[in-house]
Structure 1
Amino acid sequence: MHLFAVFLCAVTAFPSLLLAFPSVPFKTSSRWVVDSTGANFTYIGVNWPGAADVMIPEGLQYASIESIVSKIKSLKMNVVRLTFAIEMIDDIKDNGGDVTIQKAFTKALGNNGATVYQQVIKNNPQFNASTTRLQVFDAVAAECSKQGIYVHLDNHMSKGAWCCSTNDGNSWFGDTYFNADKWKRGLQFMADHSKSWSSMVSIGLRNEFRKPDNAGSSQAYNWQTWYTHMVAAADLVNAANPKILIFFSGLDFDTTLSPIPGAGDLGGGKKFQKSSFKYVDKLVLELHNYQNSATSCDSMKSGLWNNGFKALDASSVNQMPVVLTEFGYSQTDSSYNGVYASCLRKIIPEWDAGWMIWVMAGSYYIRSGTQDYEESWGLVDHKWTGWRSASAIKGLQQMIDASLK
């Protein structure tokens, strides 16, 4: 058979080959994320939750993975922040192996679990009674690869549940469910496992560190503790998968990384010095912002800059890329046109900073005990069939277009 005919047969049988990612892996250069061609890359994307009670990416009882990724693609976004829980890896390592999606729905939803499972496999017939949770993540990554969307994994929680509060047991090292050793093991596992995902480009070490209400938490809530554990985790991740970028989140629900750009004293003689890392070209900072009641864009801008975005500036000791991995607002009113959303729509593209909006989900399998929970901040409607608000999407499209420029 002629070589071209062989190639044609291959891409017909495996269309993801046609849309493989020739521009990976990514690296960093000063304040930029750079693809393998040397071009600057800006993260422009959305959060797709998969770290709640079921520990499966949301929405599959209403839609196929293909249709969800297609909606993301239609906005000209280029990345998905896909969240996961360490509990999934704990089951694999300690509890006899990964859980099937059928059992996962039954465990999380009780009597209604069987019904939701049937809806999932009706929309996603590639799944069956033997499909595991991790295999669903594999399927999401494969579809992202097929459609040209990058995957950024994020460790959102240790115990699978809705995030985040100061009393959920997941807030800080040594909290009720936050075993630091198992967290590092879980990150190492997912970094290694995702090497087979052609769409995989980066991983967030932990979502929204916060001071726990639990006074019995075994480790001090401070930058020194943060540094010790984060560097150890990053070392393991880089050893497991040297190709991916590693995102460092901050304290106080990831609203501040203030000592990092200037290599400030973290306590105990610790300083974050980018130059001390062997994988210096794989480090990224991430911040969150939910100042929905803001009345001044200038105040927001200075706050974001001082809390971490200053790392974009050449004057910073640690000049690094900074990505706003979470921000969001109600999709059911005029919030998209308020001070908060309008400000971010303006300043983040001006800074050439990456971003990922919260959230794709129009509903959740279960959230805080309520099944089929309505998500008013979701870009899609409750049944994941269309956009929740055409006006809000139009506003978001302005931010996408500005960032693409």
Structure 2
Amino acid sequence: MHIVPLFFAVASLPAALSAALPSISAIKAPFTTNQQWVQDSAGKNFTYVGVNWPGAGEVMIPEGLQYASIESIVSKIKSIKMNSVRLTFTIEMIDNIKDNGGDVTIQDAFNRALGTNNGPKMYQQVIKKNPQFNAKTTRLQVFDAVATELNKQGLYVHLDNHMSKGAWCCSSSDGNTWFGDTYFNVNNWKRGLQFMAEHGKQWPNLVSIGLRNELRSGAQNGLPYNWETWYDQVVPAAGVVNKANPNILIFLSGLDYDTKMEPITSGKDLGNGKKFLLSNFKYANKLVIELHNYQNSATDCGSMESGLWNNGFRATGTTAVNRMPVVLTEFGFSQVGNEYTKTYATCIKKLMPQWKTGWMVWVISGSYYIRSGTQDYEESWGLLNHDWSNWRNPSAISALQGMIDASLKA
């Protein structure tokens, strides 16, 4: 999230999770694309209507498990008719698996992130709410458990590489900004994407993956911040993912915190004659554009509409050079008060069904294990309250329900 003024060895599951992942009739994967549409395995148009579930903080497991079971969290998402979850992960987790002799247990992960005083307490809270976990459970196995429960309840998984180093995202000085930044090792990034794409084959409901969240300027020792560099890095990474798992869709994010993708939709020269053209990809029917928007101070829906359209949603139009689906994978606002009634929220609610396009709201989390040094951090933007027991603002959820219904109908 950014506020814009704001092969490989697969870890074995614990005994309680070792049964084969169930497949249910509601899951119709894999997905493909057809011009502006995402389509399921039955050829029916599919619209992502979902929520972000962070798992890329310092602990590097999905948030909220000290307060609620995975089943109860998924049930709340399901109860408002959402159909998908954007589940974020770090490259650091895969680096540990590949370079440091295996994944870290969740017990160790809490100790490392929260300290030897609060870490054990948090771990005990997690296993009390989620007794299928134990001292041998690893971080990746928690992701497996989340995917399993989402599948059980008929929801799809969209994986997102949110950060390289586990931490709150994003700033221009966090070392994760751009290719070659302090923590953004390009080879490790591609290896991490390959690993998760391969590992995700065991999740029947994994339908897509985002290559990188909110690319932005700020790298001190990285490659030039421009579209040519974007092309040189993103296109090979997409190829790595497609080779590792040809079934999943690949979401491409743009510059300036993923608010701009115009040169990709228009096929313009990105530098030295390089152009992004769908016709050059053997897996063109697996590519999707993602955009973010946090124009919370907006007072005019018309300017928001033209800005979003020109920055990327034009790809859904009939005149686009690269006609392809666009999904708004992050937008959001405070759940405290009446922000849901103001221009920003009401404009997004209008535009997404109007453009017949998908979206995933930021964020389900009522709180974080730790964020920016503060443990048990309150998330006022969270759809759920601090202890993940209920909706933070039922009126805002009612408004969101209207957007869900309109998007699914469209």
Q: TM-score, normalised by structure 1?
A: 0.95
Contact 1:21 1:198 in 2 (8 A): no
Q: Who is 2:11 aligned against? A: none
Q: 2 CA distance for matches of 1:114 and 1:16?
A: 30
Q: Who is 1:5 aligned against? A: none
Distance 1:88 1:14, change over 3 A: closer
Q: Who is 1:211 aligned against? A: 217
Q: 2 CA distance for matches of 1:15 and 1:341?
A: 41
**Residue by residue, what CA displacement relative to the aligned partner does 1:309-364 show, whole Å, maximum 9, x if unpaired?**
00001101100000000000000011000000000000111100100000000000
Please tell me whether residue 115 in structure 1 is matched to residue 103 in structure 2.
no
RMSD: 1.2
Q: Who is 2:194 aligned against? A: 188
Residue of 337, 345, 364 corresponding to 1:360: 364
Contact 2:251 2:289 in 1 (8 A): yes
Q: Who is 1:245 aligned against? A: 249
Please tell me whether residue 230 in structure 1 is matched to residue 234 in structure 2.
yes
Q: TM-score, normalised by structure 2?
A: 0.94
Instruction: Describe the SS at the equivalent of 2:258.
Output: coil
Q: 2 CA distance for matches of 1:264 and 1:344?
A: 28
Q: Trace 1:53-92 onto structure 2 (pairs within 5 A).
A: 53-92=58-97
- How far residue 261 of structure 1 moved from its aligned partner, in angstroms, is 1.1
Please tell me whether residue 332 in structure 1 is matched to residue 332 in structure 2.
no
Distance 1:386 1:283, change over 3 A: same
Instruction: Describe the SS at the equivalent of 1:125.
Output: coil
**Residue by residue, what CA displacement relative to the aligned partner does 1:58-92 show, whole Å, maximum 9, x if unpaired?**
00000000000000000100000000000000000
Distance 1:246 1:18, change over 3 A: closer
Please tell me whether residue 265 in structure 1 is matched to residue 264 in structure 2.
no
Contact 1:155 1:204 in 2 (8 A): yes
Gaps of 5+ in 2: 1-17
Q: Who is 2:381 aligned against? A: 377
- How far residue 258 of structure 1 moved from its aligned partner, in angstroms, is 1.0
**Residue by residue, what CA displacement relative to the aligned partner does 1:287-315 show, whole Å, maximum 9, x if unpaired?**
00000000100000000000000000110
Instruction: Describe the SS at the equivalent of 1:83.
Output: strand
Q: 2 CA distance for matches of 1:120 and 1:366?
A: 14
**Residue by residue, what CA displacement relative to the aligned partner does 1:193-217 show, whole Å, maximum 9, x if unpaired?**
00000110000000000001x4x32
Q: Trace 1:304-319 onto structure 2 (pairs within 5 A).
A: 304-319=308-323
Q: 2 CA distance for matches of 1:19 and 1:28?
A: 22
Give identity over the alignment, percent. Answer: 69
The residue type paired with residue 70 of structure 2 is I
Distance 1:364 1:22, change over 3 A: closer
Q: 2 CA distance for matches of 1:209 and 1:280?
A: 22
Q: Who is 1:148 aligned against? A: 154
Instruction: Describe the SS at the equivalent of 2:255.
Output: coil
Contact 2:293 2:328 in 1 (8 A): yes
Contact 2:27 2:156 in 1 (8 A): no
Residue of 291, 298, 303 corresponding to 1:299: 303
Q: Who is 1:174 aligned against? A: 180
Residue of 7, 16, 33 corresponding to 2:38: 33
- How far residue 14 of structure 1 moved from its aligned partner, in angstroms, is 7.4
The residue type paired with residue 66 of structure 1 is E
Please tell me whether residue 45 in structure 1 is matched to residue 50 in structure 2.
yes
Q: Who is 2:400 aligned against? A: 396
Instruction: Describe the SS at the equivalent of 2:263.
Output: coil
Contact 2:28 2:41 in 1 (8 A): yes
Q: 2 CA distance for matches of 1:102 and 1:352?
A: 43
Q: Who is 1:101 aligned against? A: 106
- How far residue 218 of structure 1 moved from its aligned partner, in angstroms, is 2.6
Gaps of 5+ in 1: 1-12
Q: 2 CA distance for matches of 1:195 and 1:14?
A: 15
Aligned length: 391
